[in-house]
Amino acid sequence: MSSLREEYDEHQCWGMVVSLDLYDCHPQVIRTPEKIKSLIDGLVAEIEMTKFGEPLIQRFAEGALE
């Protein structure tokens, strides 16, 4: 069976996407844009991904952070 990367190359895909569910994540890890960026940078390095620009981090919920 081929690896995901081989299949990606074979089909000439436009790109890969990562979506993370951080529901049970420790709140201090995702509390500030700086910590979120650090988490993203670490993940990118760990999975040997190439970033396309800087992450767009925007809070869209209402109310106080707990």
- Give the phi and the psi of residue 27 in degrees, each rounded to 5: -55, -35
Q: How far apart are CA 4 and CA 1, in angstroms?
A: 9
Give me the pLDDT at residue 62, please.
Answer: 81
pLDDT tens string for the chain (66 positions)?
Answer: 467 778 878 887 777 676 778 788 888 888 888 998 998 899 889 888 888 888 888 877 787 766
**Do residues 18 and 39 lie in contact, with contact meaning Cβ atoms separated by under 8 Å?**
no
Query: Which pLDDT belongs to residue 41?
Result: 92
